[in-house]
């Protein structure tokens, strides 16, 4: 797979205060607008790792995920920012961050008004169960409608296992059935889980997963204080994601039960 391209942030446009980590709309040197996820935010670089890995896996599965880019921030960007919280966030995030293509005019998915086709709903539920994404519920759908198409955003809460100390050696977590999938906002529409299971898993070969893991910037891993263990951490992510695909898949059993 091709790694995300890199852009340089040239202008801070506006904060998106509905997010706890203060993401922002920024302009980059390619004249594009992006939603920037700051490396220096409270959840730290692991949230960016989850965003990158989940987003690229989603794209590999053919799901509608906006383009991801690496975003370079220069500390001088903070000079004209009067808000002290944002000023500090920019300074703390100087260097490499992650950004998502901004979808102008998009609206938040409303589960009362909108209903996706069962195949798409099933593929999204499978994807979120696989990556243990706790943040696609009726309370916070993390989906947008843009040009009459559904788009998946905000995957920083996926792979939550890596916030647990020592997760690199606790590979039994890969077989976690993820019972929280029952709360998925699209569960009632996911009527094709049985039919799509094998084809979804088949798209995620070791080569595909390995190329995505290889794209995690070493600096994000090093910020966790384990700069001498970058290869070991990459191997742990790869092993976890591959073991999770082994059949029978407990997360699929749990999703079927939740449906």
Give dist(CA 101, CA 70) in Å, integer: 11
CA distances from 7 to 11, 122, 257 (A): 12, 34, 43
Residue 29: CB atoms within 10 Å = 12
List the strands of the sheet with 143-146, edge to edge.
Answer: 107-108, 143-146, 149-152
State pLDDT tens for residues 96-106: 999 999 999 99
Q: Is the per-residue pLDDT at 193 higher than 60?
A: yes
Query: According to the model, what pLDDT value does residue 228 have?
Result: 59
Query: According to the model, what pLDDT value does residue 18 have?
Result: 65
Give dist(CA 78, CA 93) in Å, integer: 10
CA-based diameter of the chain, in Å? 55
Query: According to the model, what pLDDT value does residue 223 have?
Result: 66
Query: According to the model, what pLDDT value does residue 113 have?
Result: 92
Give dist(CA 83, CA 109) in Å, integer: 31
pTM of the entire structure? 0.94
State pLDDT tens for residues 211-242: 999 999 999 998 655 555 899 999 999 999 99
Query: According to the model, what pLDDT value does residue 211 have?
Result: 97
Give dist(CA 63, CA 127) in Å, integer: 9
The residue extents of the domains of the chain are 6-101, 117-149+164-258
């Amino acid at each position: 797979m091709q790694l995300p391209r890199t852009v340089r942030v040239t202008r801070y446009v506006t904060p998106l205060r509905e997010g706890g980590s203060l993401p922002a709309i920024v302009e980059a040197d390619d004249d594009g607008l992006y939603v920037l996820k700051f490396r220096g935010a409270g959840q730290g670089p692991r949230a960016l790792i989850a965003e990158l890995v989940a987003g690229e896996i989603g794209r590999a599965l053919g799901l509608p995920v906006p383009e991801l880019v690496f975003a370079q921030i220069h500390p001088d960007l903070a000079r004209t920012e009067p808000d002290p919280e944002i000023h500090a966030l920019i300074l703390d995030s100087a260097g490499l961050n992650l950004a998502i293509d901004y979808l102008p005019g998009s609206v938040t998915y409303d589960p009362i008004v909108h209903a996706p086709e069962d195949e798409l709903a099933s593929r999204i539920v499978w994807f979120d169960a696989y990556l243990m994404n706790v943040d696609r519920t009726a309370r916070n759908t993390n989906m947008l409608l843009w040009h009459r198409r559904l788009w998946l955003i905000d995957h920083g809460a996926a792979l939550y296992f890596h916030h647990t100390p020592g997760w690199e050696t606790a590979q039994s977590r890969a077989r976690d059935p993820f019972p929280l999938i029952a709360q998925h906002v699209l569960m009632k529409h996911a009527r094709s889980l049985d039919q799509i299971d094998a084809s979804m898993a088949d798209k995620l070969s070791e080569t595909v997963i390995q190329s995505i893991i290889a794209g995690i910037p070493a600096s994000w891993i090093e910020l966790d204080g384990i700069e001498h263990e970058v290869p070991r951490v990459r191997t742990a992510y790869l092993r976890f994601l591959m073991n999770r695909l082994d059949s029978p898949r407990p997360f699929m059993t749990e999703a079927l039960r939740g449906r």
